[in-house]
Structure 1
Amino acid sequence: MQSQIHAKTSPAFKKKDKSWKVWWRLTRPHTLTAAFVPVTLGTVIAMTETEIHFGLFITMLIASLFIQIATNLFNEYYDFKRGLDNEESVGIGGGIVRDGVKPKTIMKAALSLYAVSLLFGVYICIYSSWWIAAVGLFCMAMGYLYTGGPMPLSYTPFGELASGLLMGMFIVLISFFIQTETVSIDSILIATPIMILVGLINLANNIRDLEGDKAHGRKTLAVLFGKRNAVIFMAVMFVISYLWAFTLIGLGIISPWIILIVLSIPKPVRAIKEFFKNSTPPQMMPAMKAASQTNTIFGVLLSLGIFIGYLL
């Protein structure tokens, strides 16, 4: 018993435990719903039209999560290389500036996740269509170019649009396509509010980092709008997301059970209130968290509503 206690309190054990926590932070867990929600939604929509291949669902889910984590690691690497991150930076994994992880280790981890995702992609293509390879490679390239390359998307006003399209709309449609071998107008319409909400996760991040981004020459949407107008824009887009879903009910495109999404409304309300009330990056973290949770809860309830409508 004493030897077991000693093992758990030894420097080696503590280092291993700390290492696990560092890499968990580097995944930026609050962003991973941007991968989980679209895959789930696309699969549930497909369920209303065909029998689901669960192997494809699981493979697509893991590949999307790996691509999202790799994108976060690229972000960590290039923000450090460009001097944006330091020990006081809020909202980063901090593996390089706080925990001493070598930048090349971060890059190797990101590329390794991309490599594994490619293998999953081959499986998906074998059981669906090789056209998915082209779309998947495009998504992966854009994930890298978000912070990498000579003109990163994260330095432009198009970061929100890119993340919304790629991790929102495209992932929903790919998940739908690999099950049904088609893309329908209905699937595009249902994916639209998720595209908006994924983009708003990015906007929330940029509102929090507005002053630092401005100082480093970034021209994000938040920098161009200014904090107040960016928050107003976010509020308008939240409203559009909900009204869009309610309109789909009225048009008979989607099950009335998706009215469950109203249960998620407190989250965007909190995000807007917290952004208006606070001004420093640490103070705005709860607002950013609420924006991310909006996508999670909205997406899960939307998927659940569609699934209940399918069963009934």
Structure 2
Amino acid sequence: MATVSEWIEGARPRTLPNAIAPVVAGIGATIALDAFSWGRSLLALLVSLSLIIGVNFANDYSDGIRGTDENRVGPLRLVGSGAANPKSVLRAALISLGLAGVLGLTLVALSGFWWLLAMGALCILGAWFYTGGKKPYGYYGLGEIAVFVFFGLAGVLGTVYVQAGRVSWDALGCAVAVGSFSMAVLVANNLRDIPTDIESGKHTLATRMGDAGTRRMYLTLLAVPYLLTVVMGLWHPLVFISFLTAPLLAKPVKAVGGGGKGRELIPALRDTGLAMLTWAILTAVALAI
């Protein structure tokens, strides 16, 4: 039976910035539209956190029963390591995704935009079929696109829309920036796992692009948020403060660009996520002011 600390590690706390950052950036864009609501912002954050924890447990379960995680280099996986029974991990995934559904329904009811239920359902289905089902899209090189859509576009624009009833160019800029950061986190993860993914038959975008191509993609994705910072800064000069996050990427850029492999790449996930969250916070403050 898994311990509490193993369950916490199995929830993959290093990925939580991917859930928090889009909501924080969305809040900044919402304040700029003078439409901020504490209650709806909190609900949006809880939905996002429930979704990412749910997808993490679902990924742990699905990869575990396929044997994909048997020779992992990265952090603990509950099913793959044998620390937890597959059924208990599946139950944790369903509870988390179910909670996201209930909280999302509440948020939609408060906003009155019932068509958003379709987007919520798509997010939950996307969380499950990332590695679940007979043909998981994460095994066909589509994981990065899904992360961009769900934890970039949907996360930021959804947070803004349920409060303001519309979106803005600032919100779109934040959505693309956070989505690019989120993609970079996943790319760093999949870069580390290329050898084991090839061995287990998991065809991620990284396995398709190869080692060198994946490293170039990571560096390109990190450039996108700062290009958007320049564009947004032309209208909101205070947004330039977000360049203070660039030094946080020095170590991951060195690890990925310098040919780091295996465990050398694990800190890159953490540092990229931290840079994303800090960028979102600073940008949100700048837009709010």
TM over 0.5: yes
Deviation per residue, 1:20-76 (Å, 9 max, x gap) = 201110110111111111011112211111242211111111111011000000110
1:193 Cα shift? Answer: 0.8
**Higher relative CO (CA 8 A, sep ≥ 6), structure 1 or 2?**
2
Aligned position for 1:105: 88
1:266 Cα shift? Answer: 1.8
Of the candidates 263, 271, 287, which is equivalent to residue 282 of structure 1? 263
How does 1:35-74 map onto structure 2 within 5 Å?
35-74=19-58
Aligned position for 2:11: 27
**Residue 252 (structure 2) pairs with residue 263 (structure 1):** no
Aligned position for 1:194: 178
Report which of the two structures shows the higher radius of gyration computed on alpha carbons: 1
Deviation per residue, 1:165-224 (Å, 9 max, x gap) = 111111101100111012234421332111111111111110010111111222222112
Aligned position for 1:142: 126
**Residue 275 (structure 2) pairs with residue 291 (structure 1):** no
**Residue 102 (structure 2) pairs with residue 119 (structure 1):** yes
Pair 1:306–1:145, CA change in 2 (3 A)? same
One-letter amino acid of the structure 1 residue matched with residue 219 of structure 2:
A
Aligned residues: 288
How far apart are the structure 2 equivalents of 1:111 and 1:52? 31
RMSD, aligned α-carbons: 1.7
How far apart are the structure 1 equivalents of 2:154 and 2:18? 12
How far apart are the structure 1 equivalents of 2:219 and 2:54? 30
One-letter amino acid of the structure 1 residue matched with residue 79 of structure 2:
I
Normalising by structure 2, what TM-score?
0.93
**Residue 131 (structure 2) pairs with residue 155 (structure 1):** no
Secondary structure of 2:203's counterpart equals coil
Stretch moving more, 240-249 or 269-278: 269-278
Could you tell me the percent identity over the aligned residues? Answer: 25
How far apart are the structure 2 equivalents of 1:21 and 1:190? 34
Aligned position for 1:94: 77
Aligned position for 2:153: 169
Normalising by structure 1, what TM-score?
0.87
Stretch moving more, 112-121 or 26-35: 112-121
Tell me if the contact between 1:163 and 1:199 (Cα under 8 Å) persists in the aligned partners.
Answer: yes
List 4+ stretches of structure 1 deviating above 6 A.
none
Where do 5+ consecutive residues of structure 2 fail to align?
none
Where do 5+ consecutive residues of structure 1 fail to align?
1-14
Aligned position for 1:10: none
How far apart are the structure 1 equivalents of 2:229 and 2:159? 20
